[in-house]
Copies of this chain bind each other. A is one copy, B any other.
Amino acid sequence: MIGVIATMTVQDGNGPQFEAVAAELIEKVRAQEDGNLLYQLTRSKADANVYKFMELYRDADALRAHGTSDYFRESFGKLGALLAGEPQIEYLDGV
């Protein structure tokens, strides 16, 4: 199992739009990726501009399928335009 924590900080005011784009992406991930075990968006209680995707994948193939899908690339571009800086992506092993 592989975990991913993706931290994204939006520019002030971009939260609602970020959540709308993310919701579409989440729907596609859950519908099309049987190797995805979790794809949960969360928002920091300490800073409402900070979002974190909590993600779990069955294995490296499942993670690769996610990252190379058209819908992910398209969404990632839209989400990126709303951010205040680079996303921080942490890769983890399930224990």
Q: Which residues of A contact B (CB under 8 A)?
A: 3, 5, 19, 22, 38, 40-46, 51-52, 54, 56, 90-95
A52 touches B22 (CB 8 A): no
Among A5, A22, A43, A95, the one with the most B-chain Cβ atoms within 10 Å of its Cβ is A95
B91 touches A41 (CB 8 A): no
Return 24 A-B CB contacts under 8 Å, by A number.
A3-B40, A3-B42, A19-B95, A38-B38, A38-B40, A38-B54, A40-B56, A41-B94, A42-B92, A42-B94, A42-B95, A43-B92, A43-B93, A44-B90, A44-B92, A45-B91, A45-B92, A45-B93, A46-B91, A51-B95, A52-B90, A52-B92, A54-B54, A54-B56
